[in-house]
Structure 1
Amino acid sequence: MPRQHSIPCILMRGGTSKGPYFRMGDIPQDVETRARVLLAAMGSPDARQIDGLGGADTLTSKVALVGPSTREGVDVDYLFAQVSVDKAAVDTAPSCGNMLSGVGPFAIETGMVPITGERTSVVIYDINTQSRIEALVHTSDGAVDYEGEARIDGVPGSAAEIRLNFMDIVGSKTGALLPTGKPAEEIDGVNVTLIDVAVPMMIFRAADLGKTGYETAAELDADAAFFARIEAMRMEAGRRMGLGDVTGKVVPKMAMIAPPREGGSVASRYFVPHKTHAAFAVTGGLCVSSCVVLPGSVCEGVADRPPGEDCTVWIEHPTGQLDVALTTRVNGNSVDILSGGVLRTARKLMEGQVFVPSSLFEAPK
């Protein structure tokens, strides 16, 4: 057997994240073997990820697995894997809406989905959240367009717009918009909203924990006592949401909110969960935006709720703003979240093969 095993991949930036995209059939199906292979491909565990493709940051240590789907009305299946930088851990519990941005282009590039005109629709089944997303990819001149005028905060320059329309997003892990049935409740003396739209989250007001809500990611990451407290709260939130013991797991995620000050709907900081996101996660944006329009949530009195059932929520984050288009329906004193859409971009960076030790495919002795 060769000492090195090669695996075809395309390295892509998806939204504000980056990582290799693999065909599902090229990666072992066994969970333990798959984890060993992905850790080796990314160079983990190592703070620098010097021996792999990872960029020594959680946002650049992500993997997308994509394959043709047998589900009715779906083109491809997508499984996201968060590869820890400094631990031998691969987490497929959460999804990543930024890496999702590259799934449509990858599916077209690899021939899984044919081009249908100047804009090609790719319907994606997100295995992590068991939901469907339509990606609208610009494909003029018979190929994926990567150059364009769309700009997203957190990424330099401009690129072709990719529109992601999220469906079936309510109750991604818990089966309910509000897993506890309450728009707001207390954990450790702090008012929180436990909500599940695209990803389960605990959302709280910055002022209730002695923060302004406008801190930089570095300023928040330096406050060990703050993270210790919100992590203890997250443990209790996971239990209440029916997720069990979430020790060592990344869901539920967390977000801190404050009044907007740059013309947006709300200012927010997103935690992943033991570090502050440099920008904002797409799935987290869908969840926070839903919290903004939900009567009685912790966002009430803090956020500027946009009018109408079809509205756009602008989230101010450390490197700019994220816009989320929501389709809702008023339901008595509450609101139903029907769908959400975001504008993202992606770029193909490299196509080739990544090499990992062949011994990883053998069962540990």
Structure 2
Amino acid sequence: MSTPAGSLKIPCVLMRGGTSRGPYFLASDLPADPAARDRVLVAAMGSPHALQVDGIGGGHALTSKVAIVSRSQRADADVDYLFAQVAIDRAFVDTSPNCGNMLSGVGPFAIESGLVAAQDGETTVRIFNRNTKALVEATIRTPGGVVQYDGEAAIDGVPGTAAPIRLVFLDAVGSKTSGLLPTGQTSEIIDGVRVTLADYAMPMMLVAAADLGIAGDETAEVLDADTALLARIQALRLEAGRRMGLGDVSKLVIPKVGLLSAPRRGGTITSRYFVPDRCHKSHAVTGALCVAVASRTPGTVAYDLAASPASEATRGAVAIEHPSGRIDIDLVFAADGSVARAGVIRTARRIFEGNLLVPAATLAA
């Protein structure tokens, strides 16, 4: 089939990764120039428009995400992964954060794109995240050397079951800042509110929900409708970003925000995760990792709200309750008590593959 006049044809695979969804591209199929690449991504998703009606975005932060994958030149990685969050209401692409949910699809995509040779049984893909300079190992079921998507693993926020994808984050401390606690404090006060500023896989501002006048177990819809709460969160977040060394974050999606409270359903802690202008319908993986590590770090807002582990042997098992259920994180501690690695189970699904058409004029400055 010929390309329609005035259009660019770009190979693309649409995938669900964890509780997110978006197009996966080979880096070689996109413009090398970052500005031109971002214009293509904005056009592809259909921004700026509330419904992204002229593109393949879903009109929500969770469905306006992009994964860009390439063969890695690093000795310790198989592929490089660049995550892009495409704004919905403006022509803006943010590549400052990582997305652990979209990361779930990188391994299968890399194998099926010929970047990594599949093994019989399971294949581990070593992924270097270009956003945060972190290494992640993704283990995918590949019986007979073929990616398996069907399986028995269920993750809250996604209907049905699928094959488990095991993600292990190897060096996620200080993903975008100077360390786990970039200000050097386990908690501090911003405009009269106690917060913890933490960075493990994702820079976050953690706040006790009660300190902002809510219970912490509200639905995402209720929280999104509370304009006063959203304005208060944004004001605190701007100062948090400055203190964390991120500068003016008014146009960035980091730091993310976690409104925390005690668990209700046998978990470790309850979290409402803001992305940052809406509450996540479930929970981001990277944000869950940050909340989990903070919940096991004495002196933080999260630690004070978290249920204590039954024993030292269960200290690394952290269950975060969120609007759609819970997400389980497995922490492994080093001899000095720091987190050596963190693991989580996700699933993914290849939805469609083909060519995405965007206006050729998109490449014009």
User: Which TM-score band applies after superposition, normalised by the shorter structure?
Assistant: over 0.9
Which of 267, 282, 285 is matched with 1:282 structurally?
Answer: 285
The corresponding residue for 1:348 is: 350
CA distance in structure 2 between the aligned counterparts of 1:62 and 1:355, rounded to whole angstroms: 17
Q: How does 1:289-304 map to 2 (within 5 A)?
A: 289-304=292-307
Deviations 1:95-134 (A, max 9, x none): 1100000000000010000012200000000001110000
The corresponding residue for 2:118 is: 115
Corresponding residue SS for 2:153: coil
The corresponding residue for 2:34 is: 31
How far off its partner does 1:329 sit?
Answer: 3.4
CA distance in structure 1 between the aligned counterparts of 2:333 and 2:354, rounded to whole angstroms: 43
Q: Which amino acid aligns with 1:313?
A: V
Higher mean C-alpha deviation, range 256-265 or range 42-51: 42-51
Q: Which amino acid aligns with 1:221?
A: D
Which of 285, 309, 312 is matched with 1:308 structurally?
Answer: 312
The ranges of structure 1 where at least 4 consecutive aligned residues each deviate by more than 4 angstroms after the TM superposition are: none
Q: How does 1:131-150 map to 2 (within 5 A)?
A: 131-150=134-153
CA distance in structure 2 between the aligned counterparts of 1:353 and 1:161, rounded to whole angstroms: 28
Answer yes or no: is the 8 Å Cα contact 1:292–1:305 preserved in 2. Answer: no
Unaligned runs of at least 5 residues, structure 1: none
Answer yes or no: is the 8 Å Cα contact 1:201–1:253 preserved in 2. Answer: yes
Q: Which amino acid aligns with 1:325?
A: D
Deviations 1:21-42 (A, max 9, x none): 0000101121211111001111
The corresponding residue for 1:324 is: 329
CA distance in structure 2 between the aligned counterparts of 1:103 and 1:305, rounded to whole angstroms: 34
The corresponding residue for 2:363 is: 361
Answer yes or no: is the 8 Å Cα contact 1:44–1:87 preserved in 2. Answer: yes
CA distance in structure 2 between the aligned counterparts of 1:90 and 1:301, rounded to whole angstroms: 36
CA RMSD of aligned residues (A): 1.2
Q: How does 1:1-365 map to 2 (within 5 A)?
A: 2-306=5-309, 307-308=311-312, 311-329=316-334, 331=336, 335-362=337-364, 364=365
Corresponding residue SS for 1:198: coil
Per the normalisation by structure 2, the TM-score is: 0.96
Deviations 1:299-341 (A, max 9, x none): 233111334376110000000000011112364xxx4121111
How far off its partner does 1:207 sit?
Answer: 0.9
Deviations 1:240-263 (A, max 9, x none): 111111111111111011010111
How far off its partner does 1:214 sit?
Answer: 0.4
Higher mean C-alpha deviation, range 320-329 or range 342-351: 320-329
Q: Which amino acid aligns with 1:164?
A: L
Task: Work out the number of aligned pairs and report it.
Answer: 360
CA distance in structure 1 between the aligned counterparts of 2:108 and 2:257, rounded to whole angstroms: 30
CA distance in structure 2 between the aligned counterparts of 1:349 and 1:239, rounded to whole angstroms: 40
Higher mean C-alpha deviation, range 146-155 or range 321-330: 321-330
Deviations 1:264-292 (A, max 9, x none): 00011000001100100000000000010
Corresponding residue SS for 1:287: helix
Q: Tell me: CA distance 1:96–1:269, structure 2 relative to 1, closer, same or farther (3 Å).
A: same
Higher mean C-alpha deviation, range 335-344 or range 267-276: 335-344
Answer yes or no: is the 8 Å Cα contact 2:78–2:126 preserved in 1. Answer: yes
Corresponding residue SS for 1:300: helix
CA distance in structure 2 between the aligned counterparts of 1:292 and 1:74, rounded to whole angstroms: 30
Higher mean C-alpha deviation, range 53-62 or range 154-163: 53-62
Answer yes or no: is the 8 Å Cα contact 2:119–2:144 preserved in 1. Answer: no
How far off its partner does 1:175 sit?
Answer: 2.4
CA distance in structure 2 between the aligned counterparts of 1:96 and 1:302, rounded to whole angstroms: 25
Corresponding residue SS for 1:299: helix
Q: Which amino acid aligns with 1:321?
A: R
Q: Which amino acid aligns with 2:318?
A: V
Corresponding residue SS for 2:338: strand
CA distance in structure 2 between the aligned counterparts of 1:300 and 1:146, rounded to whole angstroms: 36
Deviations 1:219-241 (A, max 9, x none): 11111111111111111111111
Q: Which amino acid aligns with 1:347?
A: R
Q: Which amino acid aligns with 1:216?
A: T
CA distance in structure 1 between the aligned counterparts of 2:166 and 2:201, rounded to whole angstroms: 16
CA distance in structure 1 between the aligned counterparts of 2:151 and 2:134, rounded to whole angstroms: 29
CA distance in structure 2 between the aligned counterparts of 1:180 and 1:301, rounded to whole angstroms: 19
